[in-house]
Amino acid sequence: MGDCHRIVSEIEEDENLIAAAKHLVRALGSNKNLTGNMKKILADLGLQLSTMASINDDDKGEGISEIEEQLNVVQDKIMSWEADQSMIWDSPNKACDYLNAVDEARKLIERLDSLCFGKVKEENELIRRAHDVLQMAMARLEEEFRHMLVQNRQPFEPEHKSFRSSEEDVVDEVSIVSFGDDSFEDSVQRDSVSRTSEEVIIDLVHPDVIPDLRCIVNMMFMSSYDHECSQAYVIARKDALEECLFILEMDKLSIEDVLRMEWGSLNSKIKRWVWAMKIFVRIYLASEKWLSEQIFGEFGPVDLACFVEASKASMLQLLNFGEAVSIGPHRPEKLFGILEMYEMLVDLLPDVDALYTNEVGSSVRIDYHDVLKRLGDSVRATFLDFENVIASYASTSAFAGGGIHHITRYVMNYIRNLTDYSETLALLLKDHDKEDPSSLSPRLNPAVEKENTGGSSSPMAFHFRTIASVLETKLDEKSKLYKDVSLQHFF
């Protein structure tokens, strides 16, 4: 019995415990074995618990009345703004007043929930009305949030001059069947796009509205409307990213569209893709992630999740083009364009891995690495097939005058331009030949080559020698077309 008053002090604020204690006291009082002193203590305790319950009911009634009055005021404020069709954040003073009203509604719900209602119909109705008011306010905040994101976009105009000047100077690569075209020597010039550009951060949304956007985010997250807020952001920024691709003139093309494309058009698309990819990743996506961090940075991984969700579709659109090019036919004139694409993806690999971190960004990273591998495989296949294209070249007439044959000019220019990509080719061929030693031409014996050169020789050198050997054989065949024996030797 000595602990009864201590128990009372601990349960004083909880009406459920008060009711349970009163029930316990009545049960103990019915025990016939209690002494007179014990009965007196239990009677005093029961009286004290009854008093506490009465006071608690009075406080609860006063609390309900006060909350209802405050809710009426808040509801009137929010409804008055709902009747106004103008945007609240166009006026800073209105925005501050509106946020204060929304915060009051949120706090009233917290007070109502803390009172442990659930037994009285009027009390349940009050909670429901408070949630309706808050939901109305959240819908308005979501609308204002999306409006500010859209209306305050900063114009994005990349410098087109460097790309367009080089694009206009390019002569379309010729097919292997047109060896007589002397333009080939100038047609496989390496793309002039620089690979040393640093990451650049630009303001995609006007900096002045960032604090207002953060205020709305904080209020919606505190009110447990974080999903609605995040989705509003993702939708607005996804549209902005699609607009960026439109500015960069990157059309939405299916794999079938790319495979049906004439080589001249495809070559132009490849050059634009290489140029646009660098700008999109190093400038636009880097800035997009920075914007997300500015707005959602206080909420942990939410900023990364919003960035990934907003940018994923645009990245996949770009990667789909790379995949489509990689699965097309392995024509020799495509090799230089595919090499440009491959080297650009390798160069951007650290940037993409840094942008799409953790599990959230893993899907984009996986797709990126997959397209990179596909393009590497296409480079190898196209290069290794080149000797077969040379060997299959056929002509029935002798080259007039015994001069340098078109096929010689073509092949030697082709090899000369490939040396610009020697590091990339060496790496791809080395990895491939380790996996498949039989890919080394049977015309070359690596052991003999090593002995002749006094050391090891690169896979690229082996394959270049193979091409030269095939060319020599083909020229020997062509020399037989001359009736003049001296021309055969001169040729």
| Higher pLDDT among residues 115 and 308, named by residue | 308
Domain assignment present for residue 215? The answer is no
| Helix axes of 446-453 and 459-479: crossing angle, nearest 10 degrees | 100
Question: Count of domains in the chain?
Answer: 3
Clarify whether residues 74 and 193 are in a common domain. Answer: no
d(CA 160, CA 330): 30
Clarify whether residues 250 and 141 are in a common domain. Answer: no
Task: Say whether pLDDT at 289 is over 50.
Answer: yes
Looking from the CA of 94 toward its CB, the CA atoms found within 13 Å total 14
User: Which residue segment(s) compose the domain that 449 sits in?
Assistant: 394-490
What pLDDT score was predicted for residue 185?
Answer: 43
The pTM score is 0.75
pLDDT band at residue 34 using 50, 70 and 90 as cut-offs: low
What pLDDT score was predicted for residue 440?
Answer: 40
Residue 62 DSSP symbol: H
d(CA 167, CA 187): 11
Last residue of a domain, one of 357, 391, 425: 391
Query: Taking all residues of the chain, what is their mean pLDDT, rounded to a whole number?
Result: 78
Query: What confidence tens digit (pLDDT) does each residue in 445-484 have?
Result: 444 444 444 445 677 788 888 888 888 888 888 788 877 7
Domain assignment present for residue 453? The answer is yes
| Higher pLDDT among residues 282 and 157, named by residue | 282
Domain assignment present for residue 219? The answer is no
What pLDDT score was predicted for residue 195?
Answer: 43
d(CA 104, CA 71): 8
Domain assignment present for residue 300? The answer is yes
Question: Of all residues in the chain, what percent carry a pLDDT higher than 70?
Answer: 71
Clarify whether residues 413 and 376 are in a common domain. Answer: no
Domain assignment present for residue 357? The answer is yes
| Higher pLDDT among residues 24 and 84, named by residue | 84
Clarify whether residues 194 and 333 are in a common domain. Answer: yes
Task: Say whether pLDDT at 389 is over 80.
Answer: yes
| Higher pLDDT among residues 357 and 43, named by residue | 357
What pLDDT score was predicted for residue 271?
Answer: 95
